[in-house]
Chains A and B, each alone.
Chain A
């Protein structure tokens, strides 16, 4: 059986995590992983562990802040929220991504008349 799911492109996980936090507000690591999987509708392979390494990076850069709280089922969990610097970075990276995606789409478009 052929696995049609795609690996996450290198360097895009940060962008996805930031976007998720911006849309959803503060979330714990598990929530972020589940949300990305849901949005991907099963088309993306998410190694959930790497979400935590990504979050560590974002926290170090101060693009994401953390706070301990309680999850829905009353468990102690660390919640992540995007900071102002993170929002700025997200805007810049999203714009960059759109530009690159546009270029790739144009490159892949069949030449008219062929």
Chain B
């Protein structure tokens, strides 16, 4: 191994300074010859004889020099560079093919590389802390369900005390709190500031584990974890700057988180955001609890002790086992296997994966990329083959001059590798751009800052991944044509050197062209409908004054009410409901507010299967449709100006108590009952994947009491509106319509909420128009991908047809020439020449229309997020016809320019 390494280093050195080594080698040989000559002269030979004998004994000097050069440098690099240079020249010469093939490769490689780049970003990060790779998470793990279950306090305590392989065992939980700085700050008029912030409740060990010291004051210490300790707060440098103007006396000041007053005890340095993306830290006080989690989920972290590994820690934790608790008992009762596991910290935080699985995910992404590459690269292979055929003479000549088949195949492969390399480089730029965009808009997408270990630059592994895909692309697109073109044909090429190419495009070619036209045509309508469905809302806009509406998620801190477990659920719901009612009342009393309503998130309602209760005689025609369901309050239709078209809207009597009535929008009514009236009919809904044959329960059904107009923003979706009492609305979205031009409506909203109850929180306060725009970002990316794929498929088809036409004309030049000389009309000649192509094209078009129609029937565009475009199939066929005609123009012109005299002279 050492010797091999030394050889490689030495060869590399030799590669970069060949002339010095050549010179030394020559000097050495000269010295050898001189010494041999002198010895032979001393033995009695004449000088000439001695010189000749010395040369014979040494062997052929030229060959020796060549062999020496090969032994010293990297012999395969020169031919490779030469092939790459030739490849670049061929790409420039056949620029049309290069462009089309390059675009197709770029599109597919980009999809793979972007996927991989995001995978790297999300799952392959290492904590940027001292020995960050040794930080782990410890979890109670449901093996079959592949998810974490709640950790009991007993397990947490045992891990802290008993596991020797782990140091600094601790826990954190992210909670949302209203941050109030300043006195009496329930109203913006009093000068106070209210803001919803993410706070890490964390054990003191978290700071020991991070090995980062505060720039002011102290961090959380062990004593802070006692329930009786006064509430403290550690802030980050950014918070210190933005909220306290870098006040050096910030330590000792108080702020309020919800209703609790906390004393600021320290400031952490810039860039410190452990455990995830935090700028506020309070102590983790769980002494009196039976499990760790307060609101959503807590995470136990630790650092591997010196000398221990992930494996040894895992073994120790597994040997210790889990203390039976309510959570494990429930899991075991359900037949699930629960064990404790130790996982790399970043991996555990990002999802329910194992380290080993990650390697598989990377491989699957690669295979998927390679799989996606297959169709376009097969297309490119066809084009390359057509071009290769026209180069038969070149290959035959090289073959005759002694170049082996391997050499010619490698040349063709390197040509394609150059092209794929360019495509991969472009795809890396695309990935870098995508990462940059995401890093800029991560707040908009995730609603929070990115985890602090996210590295938005391209990783080396991503670059290698792109290189790997480029090699696969070159193999698929280049190897087939190269092997075929250098097979038997090359021998016949040698025999007919000097004559015109005798290669033929056989039946395989014809089938490929037909298939290409058919498949392009089959998917074109669906692609257009999908693309239009994706960008339609962005292009047309929501259709109402969405910029006047402010939306926000509404939540109530359960713990601060003194309620901890499920026992208080009902109490909590009633309290939250009462607060919602009070909030609506207060908001609507403000002059700048036109109306307020609480519902599910507009535009993001859950997608369900909606079913109509069949009447007598309709049993076989069970009407079902997919749509959205929204739980709304009585004011919803008024606030959003949705007119009632038939029956009635939802009124107060529907809510107290809640009646099982429903209002549907026009499009859903149309889909369920056609032209008839839906009023009085019953519907029910279930999750999209629910069993449609499940027994019907009477309480599932809702009676339709009204039909409302479609909201332009969701025109394509059937929507059912159901009344929900305030205490039933847990995932509540507050929508407030403000009068136009109200300054700082968001502050009015926040202050009103905090004035009702400081423990009630509003999150993601946004204009509805912004919400729609945010949703459109992803849609636009999707539409761009669909467009790029469609365009590259169309271009490849066009290029394939063009290659066929060009080849046909080239092959029959002499025939055209002779027949033209005999007086045939050029146009009729061309007609005959293109007949074959026209037949192939026609077959492809007919098959394509049939396939498109079947596809439209089996997968209606609306089902997968598209928007039906009338007459799209004939339009697509016409487009393909146009493309076909355009591809004929160039070769046809060349055909018409054939000079009979020249062709006859060559004959």
Chain A residues near B (Cβ < 8 Å): 28-30, 33-34, 47-50, 52-53, 56-57, 59-63, 71, 73, 75-78, 85
Residues of B with C-beta under 8 A to A28: 28, 31-32, 35
Judging by beta carbons under 8 Å apart, are A57 and B27 in contact?
no
CB-contact partner of B72 in A34, A56, A85, under 8 A:
A56
Contact A59 B29 (CB under 8 A): no
| B563 contacts chain A at the CB level, 8 A cutoff | no
**Nearest B residue to A89, CB-CB:** B3
Asked if B32 and A62 make an inter-chain contact with CB atoms under 8 angstroms apart, the answer reads no
Q: Which applies to chain A's interface (DSSP): helix, strand, loop or mixed?
A: helix
A73 to B36: give the CA distance in the assembly, Å: 11
Chain B residues with CB under 8 Å of A71's CB are: 31, 35
Identify the 6 closest CB pairs spanning chains A and B, nearest first.
A49-B59, A60-B10, A61-B3, A49-B64, A60-B7, A30-B35
Which residues of chain A come closer than 8 Å to B38, judged between CB atoms?
73
With A and B bound together, what is the CA distance between A76 and B57 in angstroms? 21
Flag if B59 contacts A48 (CB, 8 Å). yes
Instruction: Write out, one digit per residue, whether chain B residues 35-64 have a CB within 8 A of any chain A CB (1) or not (0).
Output: 110110000000000000000011111011
- Of the candidates A60, A63, A73, the one whose C-beta lies within 8 Å of that of B35 is A73
Neighbouring A residues of B11 by C-beta, 8 Å: 60
Report the minimum CB–CB distance from A6 to chain B (whole Å).
Answer: 17
Please, could you name 7 A-B residue pairs with CB atoms under 8 Å apart, sorted by A? A30-B31, A48-B57, A49-B64, A53-B67, A59-B10, A60-B7, A76-B31
A76 to B34: give the CA distance in the assembly, Å.
11
A61 touches B7 (CB 8 A): yes
Which partner residue on chain A sits nearest B71 by CB separation?
A56
Asked whether, in the complex, the Cβ of A77 is within 8 Å of the Cβ of B35, the reply is yes
A16 to B57, CA, bound (A): 18
For chain B, the count of residues having a C-beta within 8 Å of the partner chain is 29
A48 to B40, CA, bound (A): 15
Contact A78 B28 (CB under 8 A): yes
Hey, which chain A residues are within 8 Å of B31, CB to CB?
28, 30, 71, 75-78
A48 near B71: Cβ-Cβ < 8 Å:
no
| List of B residues within 8 angstroms of A56 by Cβ | 68, 71-72
Bound-state Cα–Cα, A47 to B242, Å: 82
Interface residues of B, Cβ cutoff 8 Å to A: 2-3, 6-7, 10-11, 24-25, 27-29, 31-32, 34-36, 38-39, 57-61, 63-64, 67-68, 71-72
Q: How far is the CB of B15 from chain A (nearest CB, A)?
A: 12
Q: Which residues of B contact A76 (CB under 8 A)?
A: 27, 31
Q: B6: shortest Cβ distance to chain A, in Å?
A: 5
User: In the complex, given contacts A29-B32, A49-B61, A52-B29, what are 6 additional A-B residue pairs having Cβ atoms less than 8 angstroms apart?
Assistant: A48-B58, A49-B60, A53-B67, A60-B71, A62-B3, A77-B31
**Taking the nearest CB of chain B, how far is it from the CB of A11, in angstroms?**
15
B-side contacts of A85, CB under 8 Å: 2
Minimum CB distance partner of A71 in chain B:
B35
> Are B6 and A50 interface neighbours, CB within 8 A?
no
- Specify which chain A residues have a CB less than 8 angstroms from the CB of B34 in the assembled complex: 75
> Which partner residue on chain A sits nearest B54 by CB separation?
A48
Contact A61–B6 (Cβ < 8 Å):
yes
Q: Which residues of A contact B60 (CB under 8 A)?
A: 49
Choose among B2, B10, B28, B64 the residue that contacts A77 (Cβ–Cβ < 8 A). B28
Determine how close the nearest CB of chain B comes to the CB of A56; give it in whole angstroms: 5
A34 cross-chain contacts in B, Cβ below 8 A: 39
State A28–B7 Cα separation when bound (angstroms).
21
Closest to B6 in A: A62
Contact A78–B7 (Cβ < 8 Å) = no
> B68: which A residues are within 8 A, CB to CB?
52-53, 56
- A59-B57 Cα distance, complex, nearest whole Å: 23
The residue of chain A having its C-beta at the shortest distance from the C-beta of B64 within the complex is A49
Q: Could you tell me the distance between the alpha carbons of A77 and B10 in the complex, rounded to whole angstroms?
A: 21
Tell me the complex Cα distance, A52–B28, Å.
9
Closest to A75 in B: B31
In angstroms, Cα B71 to Cα A76, docked, is: 23
Q: Is the CB of A30 within 8 A of B6?
A: no
Residue of B nearest to A34 (CB): B39
Q: CB-CB < 8 A to B39: which residues of A?
A: 34
Residues of B within 8 A of A61 (CB): 3, 6-7
Give the complex CA separation of A48 and B60 in angstroms: 10
Give Cα distance in the complex from A61 to B7, angstroms: 5
Q: Among the interface residues A48, A53, A57, which one has the most CB atoms of the partner chain B within 10 A?
A: A48
Residues of chain A within 8 A (CB-CB) of B36 are: 30, 48
Interface core residue of A52, A59, A85 (most chain B CB under 10 Å): A52
Query: Nearest Cβ in chain B — how far from A46, in angstroms?
Result: 8
Expressed in whole angstroms, the Cα–Cα distance for A65 and B58 within the complex equals 22
CA A28 – CA B59 in complex, angstroms?
18
CB distance from A55 to the nearest CB of B (A): 9
User: Which residues in A have their C-beta under 8 angstroms from that of B10?
Assistant: 59-60
Could you tell me the distance in whole angstroms from the C-beta of A23 to the nearest C-beta in chain B? 20
Pairwise interchain contact A49-B35, C-beta atoms closer than 8 A: no
Q: Are A75 and B35 in contact (CB under 8 A)?
A: yes
A114 nearest CB across to chain B (Å): 44
Complex Cα gap A52–B58 (Å): 10
CB contacts (< 8 Å) of A59 on chain B: these are: 10
- Which B residues touch A57, using CB under 8 A? 7, 71
Q: Which residue of A lies closest to B72 (CB)?
A: A56
Most chain-B CB neighbours within 10 Å: which of A29, A34, A49, A50?
A49
Minimum CB–CB distance for B366 against chain A, Å = 36
A47→B55 CA distance, assembly (Å): 11
Contact call A49/B72, Cβ cutoff below 8 A = no
**In the complex, chain A residues whose CB is within 8 Å of the CB of B58:** 48-49
Residue in chain B with minimal CB distance to A28: B31
Chain A contacts of B29 at CB under 8 A? 52
Interchain CA distance A33-B54 in the complex, whole Å: 12
Q: Tell me, rounded to whole Å, the shortest Cβ–Cβ distance linking A40 to chain B.
A: 14
